[in-house]
Amino acid sequence: MLKSRKFLWPLVLTVIFIGVILYFYLYEELTDTAYFTVGWLILIVILLWLGNTLITRLLDKWIPWLKFGKQRYFLHLLIGIVYSVSIINTAYYLFKILFTQDPPTTEQLVVTNVFGGIIFIPAFSIYFSLQFLNHWRESEIEMEKFQK
């Protein structure tokens, strides 16, 4: 049994994702490009999740929400976006040079950034909003304790 419910959704999504991958692997004939894309997406999701969790923990330690609310919000947003775009580009570049003969072209990098922005920036925004709301709720609970 899981002790924490916060790992339940990532676990459920991971199981569904693995099931979809296995289905396509076993029952569909995919090109190398499809495997390349799936591998790249898996790497991106893992790195974004781990990196943003680390960013949140470090900022919680050095720039707490209670003392630096507005500054923390904008700093976290800026660092998260820079990190996300860097990971998207670095992972694409590495996959492209390691698994294909040609280095990425400028057009491919532009398309990667556009798709990355369409897919991952909204996901990061949702993650960031949930983090903000959780910390806000915790601060409200602490305020209620001090008032009693």
What does the pLDDT read at residue 58? 92
Q: Name the residue among 133, 86, 136 with its Cα closest to residue 112.
A: 86
DSSP class of residue 67 equals T
Which residue, among 35, 44, 49, 31, has the nearest Cα to 93 in the 3D structure?
44
The pLDDT tens digits for 114-146 are 877 777 677 767 777 777 777 777 777 777 777
Token couple for 100: 């294909």
Q: In the prediction, which pLDDT does 6 show?
A: 65
DSSP of 87-101:
HHHHHHHHHHHHHSS
Helices (H), the chain: 8-27, 32-62, 69-99, 106-147
Answer yes or no: are the C-beta atoms of 112 and 38 closer than 8 Å. no
Residue 62 to residue 96: CA distance in whole angstroms:
37
How many CB atoms within 10 Å of residue 143? 11
For the stretch 21-73, pLDDT in tens is 778 777 877 777 777 777 777 888 888 888 888 998 899 899 887 788 788 88
Q: How confident is the model at residue 2 (pLDDT cuts 50, 70, 90)?
A: very low
Angle at 52 between CA 115 and CA 137, to 5 degrees: 115
Closest Cα to residue 58, out of 44, 74, 70, 76? Answer: 76
Q: How far, in Å, CA of 44 to CA of 36, rounded?
A: 12
